[in-house]
A and B are shown apart, each in its own frame.
Chain A
Amino acid sequence: QKEVEQDPGPLSVPEGAIVSLNCTYSNSAFQYFMWYRQYSRKGPELLMYTYSSGNKEDGRFTAQVDKSSKYISLFIRDSQPSDSATYLCAMIPRQGAQKLVFGQGTRLTINP
Chain B
Amino acid sequence: DVKVTQSSRYLVKRTGEKVFLECVQDMDHENMFWYRQDPGLGLRLIYFSYDVKMKEKGDIPEGYSVSREKKERFSLILESASTNQTSMYLCASLDAAQSQPQHFGDGTRLSIL
Please say whether chains A and B are actual partners in one complex. no
Residues of A within 8 A of B (CB): none
